[in-house]
Amino acid sequence: MEVVILAAGQGKRMRSVLPKALQPLAGRPLLAHVLASARALGAQRICVVHGHGGGTVHSRLDAPDLVWVEQSLQLGTGHAVLQAVPHLSADTPVLVLYGDVPLIGVPTLMRLMDAAGQDRLSLLTVELDDPAGYGRILRDDSGRVTRIVEERDATPDDRRVREINTGILVAPAARLRDWLGRIGNDNAQGEYYLTDIIGLAVGEGLEVVTVSPDCASETLGVNSKAQLAALERMFQASVASQLMDAGVTLIDPARIDVRGELLCGSDVEIDVNCVFEGRVELGDNVAIGANCVLRDVKVGSGTRVAPFSHLDGAETGKECALGPFVRIRPGTVLADGVHIGNFVEIKNSRIADDSKAGHLSYIGDADVGVGVNIGAGTITCNYDGANKYRTEIGDGAFIGSDSQLVAPVRVGRGATLGAGTTLTRDAPPDQLTVSRTRQQSYADWVRPVKKAK
């Protein structure tokens, strides 16, 4: 089986410089969703027919298993498939998909392929309460498909038909090649319709069979930002349903966004308005508070992430407490039982078991030992304007509030830094290190007052 994906549309109604095929749905381009379905079917070859913005589409989504074919003139769907024909084998069925129909399901496509076999033409059709704008499936008295008529070419009787053509079909490659060479453009649009091959197939006595999708939303296309937003919510509703079926507690299934892959253990709870991007793994008994963003992270079992926290490219151990309002940046690894409190930012650092940074601190390029307490307002000064350096904090160290650790510097095991210390040299283990100016009081000092106007 080989696949042709039509993705040459300009998408004028999107009103965007970004090609329609690259418009994002759940964090991935529309075309990427269709490519994923084609790959899941085990296609021998995938031909992508591109047009407007094709160079950008090609560069963003190119892969070794793809053949890119340009449709320089937009002359209809039949003309688009014809551009791919020279790249197809003559003895395999061909599945035609659309780059702006992203929700098409693999089970539906497998049933469509099974119905076609090696020598039949199978169509994916669906009945709609309001079929306006779609091509209608016309049948004879025996219920056999005779042809498809487009909306603009349909008679009033034709328009009363509720069964519509989705455009998705499977056909024998050799016959498809022949039919495409014979269709014309004598229609209201002046285009070469792929649907005209149905009449040719019927005329040759080839069996035309139809299959319905598991869900009508699988066949919906995207032509505007409003339609894109509607499909986004459909996609997220489907993801939410799958998560809840797997035992995840969603406080409000209508307020979650998964823009990648979300893997959850048992008894996971997710509050409202959370966004998951890339690959996110949540261990058993993890709780994610409201309005959090997690991107490419692994969260250990029993960890609690309080509201308004951002985790990106990081990993946490078990039973950690994070947030609210924490920012964990790429390269960070938190061990078991770590507590990171409100308004703390951590970047490219390793923090060992049971260490704490409770308030208003920045920890960058640091290695923090076991059982360390980092006071409020502490920062690691890791950047000298040209290069970055690491800070090491030994096990059991206590860092007083409002301290600055000027890297490269090391705080010894069990050391204590007094509040307000600016550390520029290593602090020895098990000692108090303080760096302060002498405190003075002036008895004769008078506070300034405003001058009378």
Active-site annotation, residues? 359
- Spatial neighbors of 124 by CB under 8 A, at least 6 apart, are 108, 112, 166, 167, 168, 169, 210, 211, 212, 213, 219
**Calpha distance 382→392 (Å, rounded):** 11
Contact 159, 106 (CB under 8 A): no
Does residue 152 contact residue 239 with C-beta atoms inside 8 Å? no
Using CA atoms, how far residue 195 sits from 87, 124, 164, 191, 416, in Å, is 21, 12, 12, 11, 78
Sole residue written with tokens 């076999």: 117
- Cα 289 off chain centre by: 21
Output the six-digit token pair for 150.
Answer: 């487009």
- Tell me how crowded residue 159 is: count the other CB atoms within 10 A of its CB: 14
User: Under a CB-based contact definition with an 8 Å cutoff, are residues 20 and 10 in contact?
Assistant: yes
The neighbour count for residue 93, using CB atoms within 10 Å, is: 22
What are the φ/ψ torsions at residue 141 (nearest 5 degrees)? -65, -20
Phi/psi at 430 (nearest 5 deg)?
60, 25
Instruction: Give CA torsion, residues 336, 246, 258, 213, to 10 deg.
Output: 160
Cβ atoms within 10 A of the Cβ of 252, count?
12
d(CA 134, CA 136): 6
Q: Which residues contact 266 (CB under 8 A, 6 or more apart)?
A: 247, 284, 285
d(CA 417, CA 429): 11
Taking phi over 0 as left and psi of -120 to 50 as alpha, with beta for the rest, 84 belongs to alpha
Q: How many angstroms separate the CA atoms of 228 and 62, rounded? A: 23
In a 3-state reduction of DSSP, which class is residue 270? strand
Determine which helix (DSSP H) or strand (DSSP E) holds 262, and give its type and residue range: strand 256-264
| Sequence letter at residue 147 | R
